[in-house]
């Protein structure tokens, strides 16, 4: 009886942890995150001031508009965070911005 209860509790805990891990991996659209490597996770791209087409990124455009550049008709720009550092050792970081994910709640 104890083994069955323990197995059921372990299975429930594993299910909760995997559900939490899956939800923790999804970023808010426009969320910026430093990465120690040279690449960004899936759904994110390096924030180096590049122009993106509005038609292919309407949600991200609705949040950023032309704050960082672009003409506001066909394109907009991501923030240029190239060369940014973090921490006391000032190690160079790759700054990533979420282009997919959950739309953040508006104030």
* Residue 75 within a domain: yes
Residues 5, 56: contact at Cβ < 8 Å? no
pLDDT at 90: 73
Count of domains in the chain?
A: 1
Evaluate if pTM is beyond 0.75.
no
Residues 19, 75: contact at Cβ < 8 Å? no
* Residue 22 within a domain: no
CATH of the domain at 52: 3.90.1340
Cα–Cα dist 11/44, whole Å: 32
CA 34 to centroid of chain Cα atoms: 10
Which range marks the domain in which residue 83 is found?
Answer: 27-98
pLDDT at 51: 98
DSSP string, 43-95: TEEE-BS-EEEGGG-HHHHHHHTTTT---SSSEEE--B-TT-EETTTTEE-EE
- Per-residue confidence of the chain (107 residues) as pLDDT tens digits? 444 433 443 344 344 333 433 444 689 999 999 998 889 999 999 999 999 999 999 999 999 999 999 999 999 999 999 877 667 777 778 999 999 999 998 77
* Residue 19 within a domain: no
* Residue 51 within a domain: yes
């Amino acid at each position: 009886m104890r083994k069955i209860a323990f197995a059921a509790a372990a299975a429930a805990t594993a299910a909760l942890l995997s559900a939490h891990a899956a939800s923790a991996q999804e970023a808010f659209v426009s969320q910026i995150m430093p990465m120690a490597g040279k690449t960004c996770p899936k759904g994110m791209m390096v924030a180096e001031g590049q122009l993106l087409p509005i038609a292919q990124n309407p949600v991200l455009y609705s949040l950023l508009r032309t704050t960082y550049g672009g003409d506001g008709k066909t394109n907009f720009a991501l923030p240029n965070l190239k060369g940014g550092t973090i921490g006391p050792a000032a190690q160079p970081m790759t700054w990533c911005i979420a282009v997919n994910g959950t739309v953040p709640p508006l104030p």
